[in-house]
Amino acid sequence: MPKLFLGRGLGFPVKPSDGSLDVAEYEESVRQSIVIILGTAKGERVMRPEFGCGIYNLVFEVKTAATAGRVSQAVQEALLLFEPRLDVLDIDVMARSDEEGETLLISVDYRVRSTNNVFNLVYPFYLEKSASL
């Protein structure tokens, strides 16, 4: 019975599977919801401009501990507002640099409320590569 609360809906991204559309159920539905929330910039959805995560306001920031803290806070606020099926346990932001630019790996530890199962999701957030002089 507790899994029924988690719901069932179209999978993300929407794609055909065996003549029908993919479906996301239960914990997978929650995981895909987190990806959608973190992948949506505030103001991007026309009828719900408040929906999304504020990390996209930080895309041109330099990689510092302060930026990591602001990213963590923005993720925490977005998940608290838009995903009532989970409890956020921890958010860890790790920096990584390569020739393509700077990336923040956002690790979200969360518990699904109705089943008490604990999961981890790592979301890559790409910062603009700084120009070298």
| 133 in any annotated domain | no
Q: Each residue of 99-129: pLDDT tens digit?
A: 767 788 999 999 998 889 999 999 998 876 5
For strands 16-17 and 86-98, give the pairing: unpaired
Q: Does the pLDDT value for residue 25 go beyond 70? A: no
Q: What is the span of the domain harbouring residue 42?
A: 2-127
pLDDT at position 4, please? 52
Give the residue-averaged pLDDT of 55-80: 90
| 55 in any annotated domain | yes
| 132 in any annotated domain | no
**Which CATH number characterizes residue 90's domain?**
3.10.450.40
Q: Structurally, how many domains does the chain consist of?
A: 1
Question: What is d(CA 8, CA 82) in angstroms, rounded to the nearest whole number?
Answer: 17
Q: Is the pTM of this model over 0.75?
A: yes
pLDDT classification of 2: cutoffs 50, 70, 90? low
| 50 in any annotated domain | yes
| 45 in any annotated domain | yes
Average model confidence (pLDDT) across the chain: 82
Would you tell me the crossing angle of helices 26-38 and 65-82 to the nearest 10 degrees? Answer: 130
